[in-house]
Amino acid sequence: MAQTPQSGSEPALDFFPPPAQPRAFTVQRCIDDAAAAALAGAAIGCGEASLARPVVAIGNFDGVHAGHRAVIAACRALADELGRPAAMLTFAPHPRSFFNPDKPVFRITPDGVEETLLARLGLDGMIILPFNAALAAMTAQSFFDDLLVRGLGVSGVVVGHDFHFGKGREGSPAYLTARGASSGAPVRIVARVSDGDDEAGAVSSSRIRAALRQGDIAAANALLGYRWFVRGEVRHGQKIGCTLNYPTANIRLPDDCQLAHGIYAVRVLVDGVVHGAVASFGRRPTFDNGAPLLESFLFDFSGDLYGKTLDVEFLAFLRGEAKFDSIDDLVRQMDRDSAEARRILAADPPPPSVLG
């Protein structure tokens, strides 16, 4: 039986929960012509038995923020009720990138990071549909009947209150509910999650991106319900930090990253151990004004990090990037930055970490 949309909102933001009971997490990538195959009546379940006839939470859950987690929790609950696996159904590339290729989407949780968070929420996996011209041209009816029900064989569908689908975004939550009732696949619509009473208070990936662009880590973390973190491999740099007694682990973030340039208090996960650190993200204007790099100085650490994959978690913005008149001025400011970062790390501000 389909469920009608829930009204109202959830006024309180939740923190990211502790790890759920460990589950095997499967990632299914559907064939490039999945939409065309579904229209032709073919099954496109990608052959993963662990995700057969799933209940799916549909959307681009970039950030896996409090609103997304409400949808995922409803998906898990419906899947348990029906005795089916629970999965996120998402699209690659992001639909906005498909329609506006010259305007890359700032991904809050790039590949790998998103999977780490989803697995902790108790999902059994994620199904990735290629977003291409064929999928963009599907009507709402074809998307539901041909792709979801016949193609993927879904047992149920869960979406957020503002989910739209099909050519020209013609499919609405109300339409989805009606199709679910006629198909026998339960549909649940999850109310918006808010940090206020008006529409402007709705938790959204757009608000989080805006906060990160401004360096407002506190606001971004509050909306996420956990401390935002990035992942990358340590690469060789110019080793300028070593000459200043501030050796750094350098990571190139994705080109679409629009985090404000500046200095941050961070924590860094290395081989399962978390270290306090101070980090700079930017172009190093005192030296070369080059390509943006994330450079982290780990406190009380010695060791070779080259080639290692690190998670870097952001606690606070300290100051903007600046060009200094002399190296001595720079080092004195780095000393002050390090002291301030240590103070913030000792205070351990909310929200909680997902790194440990």
Asked whether 110 and 254 are in contact (CB, 8 A), the reply is yes
Determine how β-strand 249-251 pairs with β-strand 229-235. antiparallel
* 55 Cβ contact list (under 8 Å, min separation 6): 75, 78, 79, 82, 84, 85, 86, 87, 154, 155, 156, 157, 158
Percent of the chain with pLDDT over 70: 90
Same domain, 41 and 164: yes
Taking residues 244-257, what's their average pLDDT? 93
Q: Give the pLDDT confidence score for residue 235 in this predicted structure.
A: 93
Amino acid letter for position 271: D
Regarding whether 173 and 101 lie in a shared domain, the answer is yes
Residues 29 and 171 in one domain: yes
- 299: tokens are 């406190």
The pLDDT of residue 124 = 93
- Contact assessment for residue 30 and residue 135, using Cβ atoms and an 8 Å cutoff: no
User: Does residue 206 lie within any of the structural domains?
Assistant: no
Higher pLDDT, 98 or 337: 337
Asked, for residue 200, whether it belongs to a domain, the answer is no
Same domain, 139 and 239: no
**184-233 pLDDT, tens digit each:** 999 999 998 887 655 567 889 999 999 999 999 999 999 999 999 999 99
pTM, two decimals, is 0.88
Weakest-pLDDT range from 116-120, 264-268, 276-280, 320-324: 116-120
Look at the chain and report how many structural domains it folds into.
2
Query: pLDDT tier at 7 (50, 70, 90 boundaries)?
Result: very low
| pLDDT band at residue 6 under the 50/70/90 scheme | very low
Residues 278 and 162 in one domain: no
Residues 249 and 296 sit within 8 Å (Cβ to Cβ): yes
Q: Which of 176, 193, 210 is the last residue of a domain?
A: 193
What is the reported pLDDT for 42? 62
CATH number for position 65: 3.40.50.620
- In this structure, the answer to whether residues 110 and 251 fall within a common structural domain is no
By CB atoms closer than 10 A (0-12, 13-18, 19+), residue 216 is middle
| CA pair distance 77, 72, nearest whole angstrom | 9
The residue that leads in pLDDT, 239 or 159, is 159
Cβ atoms 165, 61 nearer than 8 A: no
Same structural domain, 182 and 234 = no
Distance CA 354, CA 73 (A): 18
On the question of pLDDT at 58 being above 70, the answer is: yes
CATH number of residue 277's parent domain: 2.40.30.30
Q: Is residue 55 part of a domain?
A: yes
Regarding whether 99 and 243 lie in a shared domain, the answer is: no
Return d(Cα 261, Cα 251) in angstroms, integer.
14
168 and 50 together in one domain? yes
**Domain check: are 124 and 270 in the same one?**
no
What does the mean pLDDT of the chain come to? 88
169 and 49 in a common domain: yes
In a domain, 4, yes or no: no
Domain of residue 138 covers 9-193
- How does pLDDT run across 59-72, given as a tens digit for each residue? 999 999 999 999 99
End-to-end CA distance of the chain: 41
Q: What is the pLDDT of residue 5?
A: 38
Quick one: pLDDT band at residue 2, thresholds 50, 70, 90? very low
Q: Is residue 1 part of a domain?
A: no
Return the half-sphere exposure (C-beta side, CA atoms, 13 A cut-off) of residue 9: 18
In this structure, is residue 356 part of a structural domain? no
Residues 184 and 239 in one domain: no
Measured CA to CA, the distance from residue 326 to residue 104 in angstroms comes to: 37
Residues 153 and 181: beta-carbon distance below 8 Å: no
